[in-house]
Amino acid sequence: MWGYGTTADVVVAPPFVYIDQVKNSLTERIEVSAQNVWIGKGGAYTGEISAEQLVDIGCQWVILGHSERRHIIGENDEFIGKKAAYALSKNVKVIACIGELLEEREAGKTFDVCFEQMKAFADNITNWADVVIAYEPVWAIGTGKVATPEQAQEVHAAVRDWLKTNVSPDVASSVRIIYGGSVNAGNCAELAKKEDIDGFLVGGASLKAPDFTTIINSVTSKKVAA
């Protein structure tokens, strides 16, 4: 979820087979995202789901570039960027994920990696109004480790500055950059206080209703106080 005005936008991303069930169980205030989508128009691509199919079932968002798609499935930057362009062309909004491996952070390559991933999105996206960027340090996803608020803010600020230089100042100021990586009820408030952290991409903690509510409220509180 991420802040918008004085409220928080909440989007949930169930597995494909449950999207319709989840969508029909939720209030319209909560939107639904797919976890992946095919790169182009539907056809003989067994096992893939097209953007057109997502539109058919009323799915408004898709997560693209998640670290598991990059590092386990083997999707590269260019492929992910093209996926984003096609999804947006079909009015499916995109949560665009970026983030470095532990060895890349230790080698001092965090910005290089994130900027290269950003470039692949920027090369393919013309309308950023329907894009949310999610910074996910891979070493913090599902590991219990979490970037410190200062580490996360440093990358978020650098990404916003990259957008200012390479896309436009307007996009840099308006795009929402959210943090993902072992976010929970205990650390969300401190992370949310940082200027360039606009919300969160939440994993396991989203399955615990009280914790998820706390995380949502941390984003809402930040925006009300701003």
Residues labelled as active-site residues: 66, 136
Complete DSSP assignment for 168-185 = -HHHHHHSEEEEESS--T
C-alpha dist (Å) from residue 226 to 3, 192, 194, 208: 11, 11, 11, 28
C-alpha dist (Å) from residue 207 to 25, 44, 85: 15, 35, 30
CA distance 96 to 105: 20
In contact, 203 and 180? CB cutoff 8 Å: yes
Residue with tokens 């079932």: 57
Can you tell me whether residue 155 is helix, strand or coil?
helix
φ, ψ of residue 187 to 5 degrees: the values are -115, -10
CA distance 108 to 155: 12
